[in-house]
């Protein structure tokens, strides 16, 4: 992910060094100019990085009533690979995909246990519970939530990146339909916030779309089944 930044800055440094060697009369002066950035290496980690709040929101309309959508939202068990649509993040980059979301308890304080491919596991602690209307949570990541085999350099609960909280909102629509909204809030603090934020939005939009598509397919199937079973 950071390779383009490294390549651009390396190219800029090379261009500056070439200019210095050609323009400055004394080779010693040019060498000092080239070496000068190295003197700042011990200082750079001590400088505070600017903080940036971000939020990604994805909306999907579902041909099922809120109570059916809610049932397939609070818990999403046993997601089969065939239920997951192809995305850039998952199919090209190889970001882990959701497998399971299980609910322990009900109401505020309940815990959703999530599993992704690659051994990724984490929890969502429910902070708002309005049945058939809204579900909010904060994320809880343990020391082993993200295995080093997945990505040793990214920590989703650290000083430079924190996936903070999320929310589902259900809005009834005419004709027994539902508008389902998924939002995720995060904070980043890096020297390249804009670039990291761009990647974060790609990943979260892809993840939102995958999860909402699973909910939509299951809820619409459940709603059509209920109609078929209704007495005539």
Strand 161-173 with 177-189, pairing: antiparallel
Give the number of C-alpha atoms closer than 13 A to the C-alpha of residue 81, restricted to the C-beta side.
4
- 173: tokens are 């629509």
Token duo for residue 46: 């001590």
- Say what the pTM is: 0.77
Q: Please give the pLDDT value at position 228.
A: 47
Across 69-216, where does the E strand assignment appear? Answer: 98-104, 111-116, 120-130, 134-140, 161-173, 177-189
CA 35 to chain centre: 39
Question: Per the structure block, which two tokens stand in for 106?
Answer: 């009900």
Averaged pLDDT in 10-residue chunks for the chain of 232 residues: 51 56 56 57 59 92 97 96 91 89 97 94 97 97 80 64 93 97 92 80 93 97 68 48
CB 137 within 8 A of CB 165: yes
Helix (H), strand (E) counts: the chain: 4, 7
Which CATH number is correct for 50-229, 1.10.357.10, 3.30.1370.10, 3.30.530.20, 3.20.20.70? 3.30.530.20
Domain ranges of the chain: 3-44, 50-229
Measured from the Cβ of residue 183, the count of other Cβ atoms closer than 10 Å reads 17
DSSP symbol at 49: P
Task: Determine the pLDDT at residue 36.
Answer: 57
Q: What end-to-end distance do the CA atoms of the chain give, in Å?
A: 57
- Which single residue is written with the structure tokens 């519970």? 129
Question: 10 Å Cβ neighbour count for 200?
Answer: 20
- Neighbouring CB atoms inside 10 A of 165's CB total 18
């Amino acid at each position: 992910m950071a390779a383009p930044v490294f390549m651009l800055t390396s190219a800029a440094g090379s261009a500056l060094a070439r200019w210095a060697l050609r323009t400055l009369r004394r080779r010693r002066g040019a060498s000092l100019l080239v070496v000068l950035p190295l003197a700042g290496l011990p200082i750079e980690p001590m400088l505070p990085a600017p903080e940036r709040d971000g939020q990604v929101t994805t909306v999907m309309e579902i041909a099922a009533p809120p109570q059916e959508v809610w049932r397939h939202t609070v818990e999403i068990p046993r997601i089969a690979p065939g239920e997951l649509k192809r995305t850039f993040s998952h199919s090209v980059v190889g970001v882990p995909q959701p497998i399971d979301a299980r609910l322990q308890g009900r109401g505020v304080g309940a815990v959703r246990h999530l599993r992704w491919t690659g051994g990724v596991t984490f929890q969502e602690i429910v902070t708002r519970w309005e049945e058939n209307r809204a579900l909010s949570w904060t994320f809880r990541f343990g020391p082993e939530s993200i295995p080093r085999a997945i990505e040793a350099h990214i920590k989703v609960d650290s000083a430079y990146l924190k996936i903070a909280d999320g929310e589902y909102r259900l809005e009834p629509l005419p004709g027994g339909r539902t508008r389902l909204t998924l939002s995720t809030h995060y904070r980043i603090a890096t020297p390249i916030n804009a670039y990291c934020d761009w990647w974060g939005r790609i990943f979260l939009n892809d993840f939102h779309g995958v999860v909402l598509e699973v909910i939509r397919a299951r809820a619409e199937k459940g709603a059509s089944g209920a109609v078929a079973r209704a007495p005539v």
